[in-house]
Structure 1
Amino acid sequence: MEFDALTALLTIAIAILIGYIKFTKTEPDVHPLLLSNQSNATPIRNEGESTIHRSRTVPLTSTLERQPSDKIKTLHDVWQAGLAANPTGRSLMYMLQNQFYYKDETYEQVDRRINGFGSGFLAATGLKPMAEVPVGIYTPYSQESFIAQQAFYRYSFVSVPIHDLRNKEFLIEVVSQTKLKAIIVTQKTLPLLLESLKECSTIKTIIVAGIYISPQQIAAAAEHGAKLVKFVTLEYSGLSAPVDHVKPEPSDVAMINYNTKSTSLSKGVMLTHANLVAAMTGFQSSLPGAKKFTSKDRLLSHFSNGDVIAVSMASALILVGGSLVFTSGLMKNVLHDAQATSPTIFASTPIILEKIHEALHLSYGQGSMFQKAFAAKKALLAAGTVTTTSLWDFIGLGEIRSKLGGKVRIVVTTYPTKAETLEYLRAALGVRVVSTYGRTETAGTVTSRSMFDYSTSAHLGSPVSCNEIKLVDDKTGGYKSTDEPNPRGEILVRGPSVMKGYFKKPNATATAVDDGGWFHTGEIGEIYPNGTLEVLGKKKKAKNTSESP
């Protein structure tokens, strides 16, 4: 009996020791040497320029990545791959009729809806595919806008997401430039569109994502020669009269994005299927092998239709058969949406992440137990470890993690997000953060910070695999590639994700993209010795200069 008791005591002691080691893990998640050199750089440089930097995964002798495989060349191909990978798996989650109830749909169900809407759209509008016809999407990021975009990819139309939903002048300017004949709206955006129809006379079909259209609204549209039709009506009518797919080519324009403002002129960025597939591939390749998206992942995104990075992330998830969550769109419901849907990938703008940080800190940050736990987790972070299995996660931080649904493993955000917010997410919530920098003209992503880089440095990582960057001297601002301790200058980007050009603005296109294919971002950067990029701000304009249309 003494032997048995001693054995039991030793077993308990060993278990406690193993648990203690696990709970107090201090080994870094990745060896520091792997973070000391994060990009490949050319051995030589031109006068007035830095060396050219590209992803560590792309050797200098190789071509930049364009697509994940020979079969995936367009966004139409991306959906077909996801459908084949997980036909009966969950595809979409969305709030039903603005109530706190989320509905699930499988890939097969959503595919039928896409076919139905696309066929119904063709019949209702009389528009012909394969003519690069632009169609407006004047809605928040929602299941309807997603289905519409997928239908446009399927029938070779060009989507025009109008991200500013409250600016009448912006709406009129976009419609007048693109000569939209059809547009998708919600019941909230419909009134402003009806007010603008006199100046938007090209619009003949208004598709309403909602359950009610009033007789007064129908009459107001008819007064300007436009008709109103419900989104769901097109879905159902198209199912009874399906139209064969008219697949796009990689070089076809998929989107004209007006999420770019320059003085008083709005510039529509033309992005081809090849551009968007390249950006998706670059983002996907920036994730470490064990952390890449899988069919088990669920993405909750707070980006708008005008944020192209949302297309890259959604496409990367669709490609492997993962699922998407469409939120209520209300700031007050951000945490509720996460708790109700339990996402594994949480993508959000800096403003929303900072609001979440403030709200959680206000609710939990004053307690002594939280302060001790947070201090301990920050010490682990400084040692290179992000974890949810430390002793402090069980004692003082479990409830906070549940506020984002309890399953988030990656947060994706953009420049500029406050350093203290990033620290809070990594330490208090135990999630890894991917910070990105991009432009609409580069299909949303230029660089991506390693999710294992927990330093307080302000850099935004190295180039993704579909593009390369360099800095050129900026005489107006006094930034030079020969600056010490690090080269500084205007950020230039080249690769298959760089836009086709600005819509109907050849002079502006020629100014932005030079003969070498380099896009001039108009932003100043600094390249660190480890090959990462910090964005310092916008380039100062020289006096007595104006932009050509």
Structure 2
Amino acid sequence: MFDDLELNVVTYTLLALVLGLMILPVIFQKDPDIHPMILNRQSHVSPVRNPKESAVHRSTLSPPGHPLASGLGLPTDQKYRTRDGDIRDVWSQAVKEGKGKVLSVKGSEINEFDIGRFPVRRDQLTQNIHSLGSYIKSIPGAKRIAIYLANDIENLVASFACAFYDLTLIVLPFDPTSSPDVASLLRRSKADVLIAPAGDLALNDVDGAKNIKEIIYVVEPGSQHLDWTSPNGGVKTSVYHDVIKAAVTGAGNVDLDGPAVIVFGPKYIGEERRIEMAEFNHKQVIAGVASTIASIRPSPETFKPEDIFVPVDTLSDIYTRIFTYAALASGATVALNPIAGTHADLELCVKRVRPTVIVASTPTLAHTAAVTAGSRMEIWHNILHYFQCRTLESGRIPKGNALIRLNDYTRPNVGEPSRLRLVFSAERAGDLGSHPLNSEDLNDLRAYLGSKVVYGLKHHMVAGPINQQHVYDYRVQPQTPKPSKKKEIPRKCAHFGGVTPGCEVFTRDWEIFRASNAGGSRGEIVVRGPTVIGGEVPLGVVGKWWPDGVLSYV
């Protein structure tokens, strides 16, 4: 039968090619980052539900009958008991667990600040925190401290000074690309002291706030020789670089149930946008920190002392602030850049410090994806991106090799070589001006950045993320439009993953949406737990539960 076959070079080549196509994929095949079955159950669903409500969904780390994440689990004098802690313990853990530094990045200049080791020196941040807190505490009647500051060292120092000295921190919205109505927010929040950059605010903004007793100006080093005394004698002024040299007094006790951090967020009444004030106490903030740390699963992906964390979004966003506190409490090095904001340029914020973990807004990530997609000019680039997306579908992050980099498209510069491993972002629930990302956008970003991108859901009344995708969830699911209260907007949005350990989420019947709808319970999203102001808050948007326990817009 085979006597008449003539085998030549072409035949052997074809045989080798066929065998190679069959055998090589088996030899070089790699396992996915996680077993796919684990992604099929991302929330624990209560076995019972109330009328007109869906079943309560919880994190698989805190199923029904178990307590929700509420604290850091710090040791006490009693051997088998722990305590939740408060905001002061975030800084204490940073001093204890971390490498003892915070970075300030301004252009090409990187300043390293010692957070405080014994013996304490005047140039350490711990000393600055207590000096600022002692000075403000000495101002008669000063209780509510407003800060209008960029993401820089002064913002961090003022935040913890308020925590240690039982002062209420009022975080005014700050974005380098826009200016809020500061006078209106100061009046509403009844601030007693304002800390702001010198020259950034008009005097009329401050004059409109009758409660202000003193303004502390943060002055750049090149302008510290100038006289920053206010021409209006009604309000006393001082400068930050002199205040942090003040003598330290005892901090005293802290009211853990009183308002500790006040932030502002948008609330829509129909199409009208209003600014809502949200007051968090120590317990709610620390529950958000604990929930955020626990939500980053599996454990090899959580914050480590070796990490460099950069908040690319503004610290006036409670979601970004909670992530920053979580990074500090875990011992990671935090790098702050004053140009960070809702519409910040990702490359400018991170390329000098080569971060490993960042938090960025959805507009920032959408802009990064659009710019990078525009650089894919050649057929080779699109073929390369196609196979990278295929790698993501198989459950792995595409890393590339030297051959690919010879003719690669222009990728975001996040440090050379890049060490970025985690990117966090979240959709603001109920914000009609947001820029939601769909699952294809997220996979494009994973391919462009060579890192894991974690998407979630946030709200200004909740400390930290509400829902958050699994770190290894690279699936592309059917896309659904983002709704408003009255109508649906033809925009797409990815699912938000499972519930985080610090809260529980369910949907409540609303208009035509019912918990009994076929294909998954639908209704208004409601969140409750120790991370929520008032214990429970309806988000005002319609959500849907998927069979694998993830939440999405309808």
- TM-score class, shorter-chain normalisation, is 0.7 to 0.9
Match of 1:525 in 2: 543
Residue in 1 that maps onto 2:135: 120
Query: Contact 1:64/1:495 (CA < 8 Å) preserved in 2?
Result: yes
Q: Which residue of 1 aligns with 2:265?
A: 259
Residue from 512, 517, 530 that aligns with 1:483: 517
1:412 to 407, 421, 424: 424
Q: Provide Cα deviations, 1:11-64, integer angstroms capped at 9, x if missing partner.
A: xxxxx99xx879964422111110111111111112211101000111212111
- The Cα of 1:372 is off from its aligned counterpart by 2.9
- CA 1:355/1:161 → structure 2, altered by over 3 Å: closer, same or farther? same
Shift in CA distance, 260/399, structure 1 to aligned 2, threshold 3 Å:
closer
1:349 aligned residue: 361
The residue number in structure 2 matching 1:275 is 284
Is residue 176 of structure 1 aligned with residue 187 of structure 2? Answer: yes
Cα distance, 1:248 vs structure 2: 2.3
- Which among 287, 308, 321 is matched to residue 318 of structure 2? 308
Identity across matched positions, percent? 20
Q: Aligned-pair distance for 1:302?
A: 1.9
Query: How high is the TM-score relative to the length of structure 2?
Result: 0.81
Q: How does 1:125-274 map to 2 (within 5 A)?
A: 125-127=139-141, 133-163=143-173, 170-190=181-201, 192=202, 194-211=203-220, 212=223, 218-222=229-233, 225-236=234-245, 238=246, 241-262=247-268, 263=272, 266-274=275-283
For 1:41 and 1:220, locate their aligned partners in 2 and report how far apart those are by CA, in whole Å.
62
8 Å CA contact retained: 2:48, 2:55? yes
SS at 2:507 equivalent = strand
Which residue identity does 2:196 align to in structure 1?
Answer: V
| Cα pair 2:229 2:238 within 8 Å, conserved | no
Letter in 1 for 2:290: T
Aligned partners of 1:40, 1:333: CA distance in 2, in Å?
A: 38
Structure 1 residue aligned with 2:529, among 495, 498, 513? 495
1:82 to 71, 88, 94: 94
Of residues 430-439 and 517-526 in structure 1, the stretch that sits farther from structure 2 once superposed is: 517-526
Q: Note the C-alpha offset of 1:113.
A: 2.0
1:314 is displaced (CA, Å) by 1.1
Residue identity opposite 1:119 in structure 2 = S
Classify 1:378/1:247 alpha carbon distance in 2 versus 1 (closer, same or farther; 3 Å): farther
The answer as to whether partners of 1:91 and 1:107 remain within 8 angstroms in 2 is: yes
2:327 to 294, 297, 317: 317
One-letter code aligned to 2:259: V
The amino acid that maps onto 1:233 is: D
Q: Distance in 1 between matches of 2:360 and 2:101?
A: 20
- Alpha-carbon distance in structure 1 between the residues aligned to 2:87 and 2:237: 29
**Offset, 1:466:** 0.7
1:417 partner amino acid: L
Report the equivalent of 1:455: 475
**In the aligned structure 2, how far is the partner of 1:247 from the partner of 1:522?**
38
Q: Distance in 2 between matches of 1:424 and 1:385?
A: 13
Q: Residue 44 of structure 1 aligns with which residue?
A: 48
Deviation for aligned residue 1:126: 3.5
Residues 22 and 270 of structure 1: is their aligned pair in 2 closer, same or farther, counting only changes over 3 Å?
farther
Q: Is 1:424 paired with 2:444? A: yes
Give 2:13's aligned residue: none
Does the C-alpha gap of structure 1 residues 395 and 61 become closer, same or farther in structure 2, counting only changes over 3 Å?
farther
Q: CA deviation at 1:226?
A: 0.8
| Residues 1:343 and 1:25: Cα distance change in structure 2 (over 3 Å) | farther
Q: How far apart are 1:346 and its partner, in Å?
A: 1.6
Equivalent position SS for 1:197 = helix
* Aligned partners of 2:514 and 2:522 also within 8 Å: yes
What is residue 106 of structure 1 aligned with on the other side? 114
Q: Secondary structure at the match of 2:154?
A: helix
Q: TM-score, normalised by structure 1?
A: 0.82
State the partner residue of 2:464. 444
Evaluate the alpha carbon distance shift between residue 429 and residue 177 of structure 1 in structure 2; reply closer, same or farther with a 3 A threshold.
closer
Q: 2:14 maps to what in 1?
A: none
Cα distance in 2, alignment partners of residues 301 and 75 from structure 1: 18
Contact in 2 for aligned 1:345/1:408 (Cα 8 Å): yes
Alignment partner of 2:112: what SS? strand
Query: Residue deviations 1:439-470, cap 9 Å, x none?
Result: 11111321111111111222101110010011
Once the 2 structures are TM-superposed, how far is the Cα of residue 322 of structure 1 from its aligned partner?
1.0
Would the aligned equivalents of 1:134 and 1:160 in 2 still touch at CA under 8 Å? yes
Query: Does the Cα contact within 8 Å between 1:524 and 1:535 map onto a contact in 2?
Result: yes
Take 2:261 and 2:84, find their aligned partners in 1: how far apart are those partners? Answer: 18
Q: 1:468 aligns with which of 484, 504, 516?
A: 504
Residue from 339, 342, 352 that aligns with 1:340: 352
| Structure 1 contact 140–163 (Cα < 8 Å) conserved | no
- Compute the RMSD of aligned alpha carbons: 2.7
Mapped to 2, the partners of 1:379 and 1:266 lie a distance apart of 43
Residues of 1 paired with 2:219 and 2:450: CA distance? 39
Provide the residue aligned with 2:59 in structure 1: 55
Classify the secondary structure of the residue corresponding to 2:495.
coil
How many residues align structurally? 484
Structure 1 residues 399 and 361: CA distance shift in structure 2, 3 A: closer
- Equivalent residues of 1:414, 1:435 under 8 A apart: yes
Tell me by how many angstroms 1:394 deviates: 5.1
Query: Which blocks of at least 5 consecutive residues in structure 1 are unaligned?
Result: 1-15, 501-516, 537-549
Query: Mean alpha-carbon deviation: is it higher for 281-290 or for 258-267?
Result: 258-267
- Quickly say closer, same or farther: Cα 1:402–1:221, change in 2 above 3 A: same
Q: Is the 8 A contact 1:39 1:53 kept in 2?
A: yes
User: Does structure 1 conserve the Cα–Cα contact (< 8 Å) formed by 2:183 and 2:209?
Assistant: yes
Residue 34 (1) aligns with residue 68 (2):
no
Shift of 1:188: 4.9
Deviation at residue 244 of structure 1 after TM alignment: 1.7
